[in-house]
Structures are given as C-alpha cells and as structure tokens.
Amino acid sequence: MRDLAPKEPPTPSPMPSLAKPFCNHLKALSLLIGGLGNLGFSSHPIAEPLAIKEVANGVYVHQGSHLLPNPQNHGEIANIGFVVGNHCVAVIDTGGSQEQGQRLKAAITTTTEVPICYVINTHVHPDHIYGNRAFKSPGVEFVGHYRLAAAMAMRAPYYLVQAKDQLGLTLNAEDFVPPDLEVRDTLDLDLGGRTLHLIAHPKAHTDNDLSIFDTASETLWLGDLLFMGHVPVIDGSLLGWLKTIDQLPSITAKRVIPGHGPITALWPLALAGEKRYLESLAHDIRAAQKANKTIEQAMNEIGQEHRADWQLFDDFHRRNIASGFAELEWEDPSPEPPMKNPGRSNP
C-alpha cells in the first residue's frame, strides 16, 4: 500500500550548475569501462608477461625447462612463442596451463600492437596446448594437424584427471580448443610481409605433428619433432619419426626451434643427437627380438650407453623401448622384391 501522506517539496540543489556535468562525467566513465570490457580488458589483474627472447627479426621464444610436469611448474616446460607480421601475430604453442597462456598473451601485447590472428598447435601434448583457452576470442583462428581434434577428444578424459592429480590444475572441456583450420598436407599463413609454411607430418613423435617454417627469417619451428638435451619421447612411431628426420633437412632453414632444448640451434646439425639415439634404439630392439629376448629384457638392457647424453633418461627411456618393441615386433623383415622392368608395366 502506497504512503499517501503529503510530502514536502524537494529542496533545490545548492549547486545546480555542477550536478548535471558531474552526472554526465559518471555516465561517460561507465561507458568507457564497459567499452574496455568489450575490447577484452577487465578489472582482473593483468598477467605478468612471460620471459621471451627475440631470436630473429619478429620471432620470439620462451624457453622451457627440462623438468617433469608437477604442481609447482604446472607443466610449463616446453618452448613456446610467436611470430609478428605486419598485420598478424601467430602464436606457436600456448604452454602448459591457462595461466602460462595468459602470460604469453601479455608478452605479446607488451611487444607489439599487431593483433593475434592465429594460434598454431604443433601437437596434442598438454605442455603445448593447455594455454589455448587464454587466446580464444573473436578474430583468432586455431590451426593444427588434421588429426589434432581427434587426438584431443580421445585424450581429454584422461588429461582432465591427470591435470588435477599431477599438475594441480582444474580443467574442463573448454580448455581443449580444436583447430578451426586443419592442415592435411601443407598450408601457408600470410601474416603481412611474411609467410608461415606449415607441414602436417605422418606419424612420428605423435600422429599429429606439425612444423612451421617462417620464410622471412628462415626459422623452423619443429615442436617435439626435435628434442635437444631432454631425451626424445616416442608417442607415435619410432620408424615414422626416423623417416621424418631423414626428410626434414630438405627444409633450408638458418635456425631451428626445438620443442624442448635451447631456444634456437644450428640446422640441420641439431638433428644429430636425436637421430643417433632413435637409430640406436631401433637397431638394438631388432637385435633383441632376433635373439628372442622378452620386452622386459630389452627394457633392462638396451641403450644404457646413452644415459649421460640425455636429461630425464630414466623417466622416459624404458617407455621408449616398450613402444619401439611393440612396433618392431610387427615389422616385416623381408625386403621388397625388385621390379622386373623398372618404368614399364609387366605383361
């Protein structure tokens, strides 16, 4: 029920000339804050920019550490970075957590005013993709191998549990951002004044490896197709990886950025250590199988001479042997018969 008692008329403002302009300024400030929110700014503290180094003109890299993922480092262990063109920035891998992705984004915005157009994932492993969500916004396209989306979907249930148990991270489905652009063979991305040439490789380190070649600086990003210092980890095909290693030197790069290791290295010399390790693994596994040794015997005996060459050797080497043993067990040892009349059809 409304109060119908008579009321005194309102007292006029003692300074009417100042009240209206003051209200107008408040409205303008409110609109400005709202507009900044629409542009991607918020009242949340801005992330501290990730440490980066410019290894070539417009090419920036953050170097990871040779550590196992844990709750202290949140899996932030890989080399990640970005390339700046005249019109676009392309991010290459986003890190092991959303926080690292936000810090990488902060490093980009403090380095250049050029907008981010592309986020490229070199493969599915968590230390390369968990920062994706920080970059999800209108105008940004995610790029990856044509098998990447399927790999994300297949691994997501396990990765969700693993992230909480091993990294102390709480993830959900939105943290797995599949590619908008899928690379089946090759793809060129024009950043303005420089082109990135992307290659989707057959099964090697994983079944969804992508390499990126910046034609302007002749810099090659290999993701985990190249390990230096950190022992290589097989999550795809030992033989396929060796075949890819034989093909990669055809790319005429000046420098290479590995997924793990120094932020830049000489090319193709950088491949030598990884190739030697994987070739030795294949040779010794074949010899063990020929001698009718079990997989347990192979895991205990093979490759110990490489221990001093690689960090995290004890954490991954035995698993590499198990993976290679299972693959080579089905290898056909008989060579293909030669063609009778090369270049001509047989009658």
Tens digit of each residue's pLDDT (9 = 90 or more) over 66-105:
999 999 999 999 999 999 999 999 999 999 999 999 999 9
Structure tokens at 157: 């249930």
Lowest mean pLDDT among 234-248, 266-280, 323-337: 323-337
- What pLDDT band is residue 2 in, cutting at 50, 70 and 90? very low
Per residue in 265-296, pLDDT tens?
999 999 999 999 999 999 999 999 999 999 99
Question: How many whole angstroms separate alpha carbon 15 and alpha carbon 31?
Answer: 25
pLDDT tens-place string over residues 332-343: 765 545 544 433
Instruction: Give the pLDDT confidence of 162-197 residue by residue, as tens digits.
Output: 999 999 999 999 999 999 999 999 999 999 999 999
Paired residues of 214 in beta bridges: 196, 219
- Position 31 pLDDT exceeds 50: no
- pLDDT band for 3, please (50, 70, 90 cuts): very low
Per-residue pLDDT of 251-266, as tens digits, reads: 999 999 999 999 989 9
Predicted local distance difference test score (pLDDT) of residue 27: 36
HSE of 188 in the Cβ direction (CA atoms, 13 Å)?
A: 7
The average pLDDT across 219-239 equals: 98
Cα–Cα distances in Å, from 75 out to 72, 126, 251? 8, 7, 30
pLDDT at residue 332 in the model? 74
Q: What's the CA gap between 73 and 91, in Å, rounded? A: 21
Burial class (CB in 10 A: 0-12, 13-18, 19+), 76: buried
pLDDT band at 44 (very low <50, low <70, confident <90, very high): very low
- Count CA atoms closer than 13 A to 165's CA, side-chain side: 6
Which percentage of the chain shows pLDDT scores above 90?
Answer: 81
Give the residue from 236, 153, 233, 253 showing the smallest Cα distance to 202. Answer: 236
Fold of the domain spanning 53-271: Metallo-beta-lactamase; Chain A (3.60.15)
Would you state the pLDDT for residue 200?
98
Average pLDDT score, the chain: 87
pLDDT at 45 (0 to 100):
53
Q: How confident is the model at residue 5 (pLDDT cuts 50, 70, 90)?
A: very low
Which of the two residues, 164 and 45, has the higher pLDDT score? 164
Closest CA to 45 of 103, 89, 119, 95: 103
Residues 6+ apart with CB under 8 A from 250: none
b/e sequence 24-50, b meaning 16+ C-beta within 10 Å? eeeeeeeeeeeeeeeeeeeeeeebebb
Arithmetic mean of pLDDT, 301-330: 97
Instruction: Give residue 288's Cα distance to chain centre.
Output: 35
pLDDT tier at 46 (50, 70, 90 boundaries)? Answer: confident
